[in-house]
Every structure is written in C-alpha cells, then in structure tokens.
Amino acid sequence: MIDEKLAVWALANTDGVGPATLFKLVARFGSAAAVLETSPQDLYRAEIVNQGGVNKILQRRDWDQVRARFQKALVDGANFVAITESAYPSKLKNIPDPPPFLYYQGSLDIFERPSLAVVGSRRPTDYGIRMTSRIVSELASTGVVIISGLAYGIDAAAHQAALESGGQTAAVFGCGLDIVYPAGHKALAQRIEQSGCLLSEFPEGTRPERFNFPVRNRIVAGLSDGVLVVEAGIKSGALVTAGIALEQGKDVLAMPGSVEAEQSLGPNNLIKQGAIAVTSAEDIFANFGWHRSDPAVRPAPDLSRLSKEELSMFSLLSVQPIHLDELSRRIALGPGKIAEALLNLELKGLIMRKPGNYVVKA
C-alpha cells in the first residue's frame, strides 16, 4: 500500500486537483492512498473530478517515479507533514485554502499553543523596533508563539525578541527551505529551528520570487490566532497579511504611530477601519483572553454519542474559525444534513457560531 504522505503529495501535485478537490476525494474514499488505489470506475462514479482529472490521477500510479520526485522535493534534514495527518497544525486546517502539505524543520507542536503573527515594514523606525521588542518579549516569555516571515525589519525584530526572552517563534518561507531569504538571516533561521520551527509549502530549489510571498502570507495568518501590524507603508505586504487574516476570520491588531510617519500610515488606517489598537502587551492579552501563564489543558470531549455525520463534521473543526461555505465544500453531506449536524453539535456544547457564518469548536 502506498504511504499516505506520499499519496497526498502526489494528488496535490496533480493538475486539476486543488485543495478543495483533494479534500472531497479523501472524504469520499477515506484517504489519499485509497484515492490512488481505487478503480477508474469508482473514480468516475464519485463525480468529483471529470474524465481528464481521473486520467491524470491514474498517471500517478507509478509509485517509484512519484517517490523519486518526492525525495527530490524534500530538503535534506527537513520533514514533511500532510493535511490528513494529526500532526498537521490544526489552526491551518480550517483556513479557506490550506496547503495540502508542509515541509518543515523543527517542531510542529508549538502551533497548538496561543500564537500571534507579527508583521511590518522592512525599514522600520527605532520606535517600531523598540515597541516590537517590548511587546513580543512579554508575549513570548509567557508562552505565546510568535510567527513571522524572517524578513528584515519588524519580522526579524519579532523573531529575535521571542528568542531572547526564552520563547518560541516560527518563520514561514516564501521559497524552499534550502534557501534562507534574506541570506543575512541564516544564523537567525538556525536559532529559530533549534527551539521553534521553519516551514514552507514550496519544494527544494524554489526561489524567493515576488509572487510567492502573498501565497506565503496566508500561512503566516493561518497559523496564528491573530495578526499584529506594527509599522507598514500604505502598499506594504504586511497589509496583505492583515487582509488575509480578516478573510480567515482572525483578529487584526495594529500599533498606532505618528500621523506624519510613512511607516504608520498602514496601521493607522487599519485602526480607522476597525482593527484593534495595541499600545502594550496587555491589550493583546485582554483581546484574546490570554493569561500570563501557560493555558490549562482541557479534557477531551466525549464523542462516543455522536452520529456519523456529527463526528465527520466535528473532525473538520478546530478552535480556529471556518466559514460555513468552506465547511460544506469539505464534507460530503447535503445542506440539510449539514444544518442538522451543526445544530446538534451546538446543542451539545461542542461548537460555537461566530459572526459572518463562521464556526469553531467550543
């Protein structure tokens, strides 16, 4: 039987099989490996992909060739996790377009902790650096994981402050893990890997092209409970990350600055549009309900009395918001069954509805 990780990688690299289609196939056949091993007739009858898509899936059955290509994509010393595995970060599973797999170095366990993405200008002011260091140090020292993109400026200040306070941080690459970008941050990346995590959805050899970074930013936002924009120009990539966070149902926070400073135009505008103003770590603790101590581990809910439909629905949810439209795309149930399962889960206290048609585990 083909390895599940390899099967997810093969399907995700098949033309015409995007994340939504992959999830439907896995839900229908039970696993990615089962999709690749099922008969052509069953693939046709499932009516999830057209005839051309079925033919492309069937071409993936040269396991030796698939395995060779997979090994070529995997950086020496890196690990790989597929979205069908329990180790895959739960916060990332429920964004609208999660990566089917991730390459990583370090530990994935840190993403189950409270986390904050900190982003901003590559050319920050001294004020921006000082405030980033002060706020991040307080957060990281109490167990909050800091997520950013390893860039010069605010990203680097956030990573460094987290490390120097004894906390944990993660850097998301816009290229393969074999290419540290910018090159001047190789030592910083090594420090991050030792206590946190480096990760990317791009295979070995992928260059840091400009169009990779907006794609990367959805992972930065997706792994976090919210995004803090410290300093950013009006056209900064940090504002792209903030916009993605809003689409994912995450909180956006911004640090106000001088109305005369170009680097403060972005966060000041975000605040005018409803972002949460942050002037200290206390604002962040209060917003998320975090405490200055590690969160208690809650007992696992009793799922033994759930119906098959309720269990399938519950398994797709996490403490991160997922939109009802995205949920319906991922599960092979009709609208009536979905509404019934959601109502029952809500009555049992296992889920909560949030504004904007989002749902989360309680």
Predicted confidence (pLDDT) at residue 189 exceeds the cutoff of 70: yes
pLDDT of 218 reads 96
Q: How confident is the model at residue 164 (pLDDT cuts 50, 70, 90)?
A: very high
- Terminal CA-to-CA distance of the chain, rounded, Å? 37
Q: Going from the N-terminus, what domains does the chain have, and what CATH number goes with each?
A: 4-73 (1.10.150), 109-288 (3.40.50.450), 308-361 (1.10.10.10)
Lookup: tokens for 130: 């000082």
**How far out from the chain centre does Cα 332 lie?**
23
Lookup: tokens for 81: 């996790």
For residue 68, give every residue at least 6 positions away whose Cβ sits within 8 Å of its Cβ, in sequence order, or none.
none
Cα atoms found within 13 Å of the Cα of residue 228, Cβ hemisphere only: 31
Choose between 48 and 139: higher pLDDT.
Answer: 139
Predicted confidence (pLDDT) at residue 233 exceeds the cutoff of 90: yes
Phi, psi at 321, each rounded to 5°: -65, 140
Over range 286-291, report the average pLDDT.
91
In angstroms, the CA 203 to CA 181 distance is 15
Lookup: tokens for 203: 């295979």
Cβ distance 173 to 204 under 8 Å? no
In angstroms, the CA 200 to CA 342 distance is 33
Q: Which long-range contacts (CB under 8 A, 24 or more apart) does 181-184 make?
A: 181/150, 181/208, 182/150, 182/151, 182/152, 184/152
pLDDT of 103 reads 96
CA distances from 142 to 39, 93, 113, 186 (A): 52, 25, 11, 26
Amino acid occupying residue 142? T
pTM of the model: 0.78
Q: Which has the closest alpha carbon to 49: 10, 69, 23?
A: 23
Cβ distance 215 to 174 under 8 Å? yes
